[in-house]
C-alpha cells in the first residue's frame, strides 16, 4: 500500500498545480469568453521574477510579493493591449492572439532574465514528512493548501460577493450586464489581474519543487487548459476537480503503467470524457440562440 499512497500524494500535489492554472483559465474565461493560452506564462513569470528579485538581495517573501504584483500588472496589460482591442474576434483569432502573447512573454523573459533553470529554498525546508509509509515534501503541503485556499476564496467570491456576481453576469450577457450598470471593462481588467496573480502564486509555490525556467509555461498551460476543459470550462468547481483528477491520472499511470505515457493517459481520459459529456464533467448543457 505505501506505493499507492506515494502515487496518490504526488498526484494530488501535481493536481493542485494544474488546479491553480485551471482556476486562472476559468476566471478569464468567465469574464471574457477568452481562453488565455498565456496562462502558463503567468506561472513562469511568478517563479522567475521571485528568483531574480531574491538574487538581487531582497528577502524571499518580499520577492514573492513583488512577483505576484508585477505579474498581475502584466495580466492587466495583456487585457488592455491585446484582448480588449480584439473584442468580437472569432475563437481562432483569440487563440492565436494569446499564443502570440505567450511566445512574446517567453522571448522577453529569456532576454531580460536568462535561459537557465532556477530554484529558491522551500518555505518549510526540504525534509520529507512520512505519511502511512509514503513521503511528502513540506512544500507539497503548501502547494495543496494554496490551491484549496484559492479555490475556496474564488468560490466565495463568485457566489457571495456583488463583484463576483458581476463577473458572472458579464460572462452570461455582456450587453445585459452593461444595462444593469456593470462596468464590464473594469470587470475584464479585474479578472485578468486576479487570474495573473493566481498564476504567479502557483509559480512561487512550485518553484522550490519543480524549479523554473523561461519555457516552463507551455506544458503547464496545456495541462491547465485540459484540466479546465475536463471539469467544464468556466466552472471553478470543475477546474479544481479537473486539475486534481488530471494529476492523479498522471501519477497513477506513471506509477503503474509507464512514465512515458503519463501525458497520453491524461489526454485519452479527456477525449473519452468529452465524447460522453461534450460540456465536461461539471459543465451545464447550453442551448444556442438561433
- Interface with other proteins by CB under 8 A: which residues? 35, 82, 85-86, 89-97, 99-108, 110-111, 218, 222, 225-226, 229, 233, 258, 260-261, 263-264, 267-268, 270-271, 274-275, 278-280, 288, 290
The Cα–Cα gap between 176 and 40 comes to 32
Q: How far is CA 140 from the centre of its chain?
A: 16
Nearer to other proteins, 65 or 86 (CB): 86
Nearer to other proteins, 187 or 270 (CB): 270
In whole angstroms, the minimum distance from the beta carbon of 195 to other proteins comes to: 16
Question: Which three cell numbers mark 157?
Answer: 467570491
Nearer to other proteins, 182 or 221 (CB): 221
In whole angstroms, the minimum distance from the beta carbon of 224 to other proteins comes to: 11
Cα angle 117-119-122, degrees, rounded to a multiple of 5: 160
In whole angstroms, the minimum distance from the beta carbon of 92 to other proteins comes to: 6
Residue ranges with strand state E in 23-139: 129-131, 134-136
In whole angstroms, the minimum distance from the beta carbon of 93 to other proteins comes to: 5
Nearer to other proteins, 43 or 270 (CB): 270
Tell me which H or E stretch contains 275: helix 262-276
The Cα–Cα gap between 223 and 217 comes to 10
135's torsion region: left (phi>0), alpha (psi -120 to 50) or beta?
Answer: beta
Nearer to other proteins, 116 or 124 (CB): 116
How many residues make up the chain in this entry?
290
Nearer to other proteins, 9 or 38 (CB): 38
In whole angstroms, the minimum distance from the beta carbon of 222 to other proteins comes to: 7
In whole angstroms, the minimum distance from the beta carbon of 173 to other proteins comes to: 17
Name the 3-class secondary structure at 212.
strand
The Cα–Cα gap between 193 and 196 comes to 5
Amino acid at each position: 500500500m505505501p506505493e499507492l499512497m506515494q502515487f496518490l500524494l504526488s498526484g494530488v500535489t501535481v493536481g493542485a498545480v494544474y488546479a491553480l492554472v485551471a482556476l486562472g483559465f476559468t476566471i478569464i474565461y468567465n469574464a471574457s469568453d477568452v481562453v488565455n493560452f498565456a496562462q502558463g506564462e503567468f506561472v513562469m513569470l511568478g517563479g522567475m521574477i521571485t528568483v531574480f528579485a531574491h538574487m538581487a538581495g531582497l528577502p524571499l517573501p518580499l520577492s514573492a510579493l513583488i512577483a505576484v504584483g508585477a505579474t498581475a500588472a502584466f495580466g492587466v496589460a495583456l487585457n488592455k493591449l491585446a484582448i480588449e482591442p480584439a473584442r468580437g474576434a472569432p475563437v481562432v483569432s483569440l487563440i492565436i492572439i494569446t499564443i502570440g502573447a505567450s511566445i512574446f512573454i517567453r522571448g522577453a523573459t529569456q532576454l531580460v532574465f536568462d535561459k537557465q533553470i532556477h530554484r529558491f529554498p522551500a518555505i518549510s525546508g526540504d525534509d520529507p514528512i512520512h505519511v502511512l509509509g509514503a513521503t511528502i515534501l513540506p512544500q507539497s503541503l503548501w502547494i495543496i493548501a494554496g490551491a484549496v485556499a484559492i479555490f475556496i476564496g474564488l468560490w466565495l467570491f463568485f457566489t457571495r460577493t456583488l463583484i463576483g456576481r458581476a463577473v458572472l453576469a458579464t460572462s452570461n450577457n455582456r450587453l445585459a450586464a452593461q444595462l444593469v450598470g456593470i462596468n464590464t471593462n473594469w470587470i475584464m481588467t479585474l479578472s485578468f489581474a486576479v487570474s495573473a496573480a493566481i498564476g504567479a502564486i502557483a509559480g512561487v509555490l512550485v518553484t522550490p519543487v519543480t524549479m523554473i525556467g523561461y519555457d516552463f509555461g507551455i506544458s503547464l498551460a496545456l495541462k491547465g487548459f485540459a484540466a479546465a476543459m475536463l471539469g467544464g470550462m468556466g466552472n471553478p468547481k470543475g477546474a479544481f476537480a479537473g486539475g486534481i483528477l488530471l494529476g492523479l491520472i498522471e501519477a497513477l499511470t506513471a506509477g503503474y503503467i509507464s512514465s512515458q505515457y503519463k501525458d497520453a493517459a491524461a489526454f485519452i481520459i479527456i477525449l473519452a470524457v468529452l465524447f460522453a459529456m461534450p460540456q465536461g464533467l461539471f459543465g451545464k448543457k447550453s442551448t444556442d440562440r438561433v
